[in-house]
């Protein structure tokens, strides 16, 4: 429960930080562009991790021993 609580607090602090950047009156356009750039960076990192997962999975399926072990572990799990 404590771990979930910490995770939700981090999400809230992230939203508050974003909101404070976009609500700033001085450089409102620059702050919005900064937020957009960080969102795109976050998306690129997630996409890279997803591609790494599928490339490793595909590579394991092509090799004989790894493919068998992957199936056995999947059934065991």
CA–CA distance, 35 with 47 (Å, rounded to integer): 18
Q: In the predicted model, is pLDDT for residue 4 greater than 60?
A: yes
11-66, pLDDT tens digit by residue? Answer: 888 877 777 766 655 556 666 777 777 788 888 999 999 999 999 888 888 887 77
- What pLDDT sits at residue 51? 94
Domain range annotation of the chain: 2-76
- What pLDDT sits at residue 23? 60
Q: In the predicted model, is pLDDT for residue 72 greater than 90?
A: no
For tokens 């997962």, what's the residue? 53
Q: Which residue has the higher pLDDT, 27 or 68?
A: 68
- What pLDDT sits at residue 62? 83
CA–CA distance, 4 with 8 (Å, rounded to integer): 6
């Amino acid at each position: 429960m404590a771990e979930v609580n910490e995770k939700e607090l981090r999400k809230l602090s992230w939203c508050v930080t974003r909101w404070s950047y976009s609500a700033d009156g001085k450089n409102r356009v620059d702050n919005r562009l900064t937020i957009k750039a960080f969102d795109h960076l976050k998306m690129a990192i997630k996409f890279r991790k997803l591609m790494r997962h599928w490339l490793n999975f595909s590579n394991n399926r092509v090799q004989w021993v790894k493919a068998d072990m992957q199936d056995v572990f999947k059934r065991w799990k």
